[in-house]
Amino acid sequence: MKVLRWLLGTLLLAGVLLQPAVGSAVVLGQIDTFQVPVQVPPLDPLQNWDAGLGGIVPPFPPVVITDGGPGGLGDHYMQITGIGGLPNPGSKISVVNRNLQWAGNYLAAGVNVITLSLKNTGANPLVVRLAIGDVAVGSLPPLNIAVTNDSVVLPVGGGWVSATFHLSPSRMAAARGKVQTALTNAGELRIMHNPNPTFPPPTAAGQLGVDNVKASAAVTVGWIDTFQYGTLQNWDAGLGGIEPPFPPEIIPGGGPGGAGDAFMQITGLGGTSNPGSRLSVVNRNAQWSGNYLAAGVNFITMSLKNTGPSDLVVRVMIGDVAAAGSNIPLNIAVSKDSVVLPAGGGWVAATFNITPSRLAAARGNVATAVATALSNAGELRVIHNLTATYPPPTIIGRLAVDNIHAERRSGLPYLPLLLLDD
């Protein structure tokens, strides 16, 4: 046991020393509410949003309206104006936040959704999209621009609408360069009227109210955690805020893709049921939470490798939102599918079918626990467990994980209904 602890500690130290330093400004959960008092400089009521082009202020720049937001009386919001005509400053309905709180690496941060409140406050119908551009080199526009395939249609005279835009690479269009590059090296976020996922947007006359711009995360088809950005992408093994002796780590090379392919490694120390005694890693209230049924995610695939001394049996677990004051979800579903990994084996492509019939109720009402966990998921967990139960047993071992991918595969009973709203 002492030898194993020494060896694991040595590997952990090496992994930390070799791990690349990656900075990221965008943070999961950040929100722009525009509630900063308008009359108090130097605080910026617009929270760094701007419509200037190359330092040229448009005729009607963005303004903060101090009443009438989605929260009602006293709720501030940002209003942007386009005057149409020739493509000059102010001719488009577009606002940008550049090189500040919305810059950074969206994939590393696990930010795959942006939600916001929108209202058409003008005289013409609008179609709103988001655009993310990378850091421009010596000129604007950015070299790589990704535009959301998601759009929100706002008729004239409508009220406030809660809008959701998916930022997974598969859910965005490359308007210039590459989507992946824009998301990993973002320099700006833009809110704009554009009927098509293109850039630049067309000129248009109108007004748009914007509020509660929030960096969010939810399970979405096509999302993949590759661990190539020097972060754990919101995966953790802590229990109630207590870190285990050997927390999950990023190994910068040797993944299924070869020498430069990073992966996540988790460690179990066995013994009594304490933090770190099990082989278990969790992504909680981040990109793997949400409604799996509504999203149409019915398979999770990943690459797995046994890097420890014990044979392993790997499953996935989905739990709903935990009860107040507890880290244990009220309803837990564990995959009946499992992957056997003998000690000393290589990388294995693992597939877990998470349709309701392929999951077992490990906590909650047997008749409803699986559906509740899938429709109100608060966490996804990768575990070693011989059976489809929870909690998993303690074990001495190590597990390497890479390329955790949310997929939708056709031919399953509940999918045709969901595709109508996709």
Instruction: Assess if CATH 2.60.120.200 describes domain 221-419.
Output: yes
> Rounded to whole angstroms, how far apart are CA atoms 190 and 96?
4
Domain boundaries, the chain: 31-216, 221-419
CA atoms of 217 and 32, how far apart (whole Å) = 16
d(CA 34, CA 76): 6
Burial of 123 (0-12, 13-18, 19+ CB in 10 A): exposed
Query: CA 175 to CA 289: how far, in whole Å?
Result: 29
Do the first three CATH levels of 31-216 and 221-419 match, i.e. the same topology?
yes
CA distances to 13, 224, 231, 316 from 302, in Å: 26, 9, 17, 10
In three-state form (DSSP H/G/I as H, E/B as E, the rest C), the secondary structure along 381-395 is: EEEECCCCCCCCCEC
Q: What is the pTM of this model?
A: 0.86
Query: Can you give the pLDDT of all 422 residues of the chain as single tens digits?
Result: 333 333 333 333 333 333 333 334 899 999 999 998 777 666 789 999 998 666 678 999 999 999 999 999 999 999 999 999 999 889 999 999 999 999 999 999 999 999 999 999 999 999 999 999 998 776 678 999 999 999 999 999 999 999 999 999 999 999 999 999 999 999 999 999 999 999 999 999 999 999 999 999 999 999 999 999 999 999 998 666 678 899 999 999 999 999 999 999 999 999 998 889 999 999 999 999 999 999 999 999 999 999 999 999 999 999 998 776 677 899 999 999 999 999 999 999 999 999 999 999 999 999 999 999 999 999 999 999 999 999 999 999 999 999 999 999 986 554 444 433 33
> How is domain 31-216 classified at the CATH fold level?
Jelly Rolls (2.60.120)
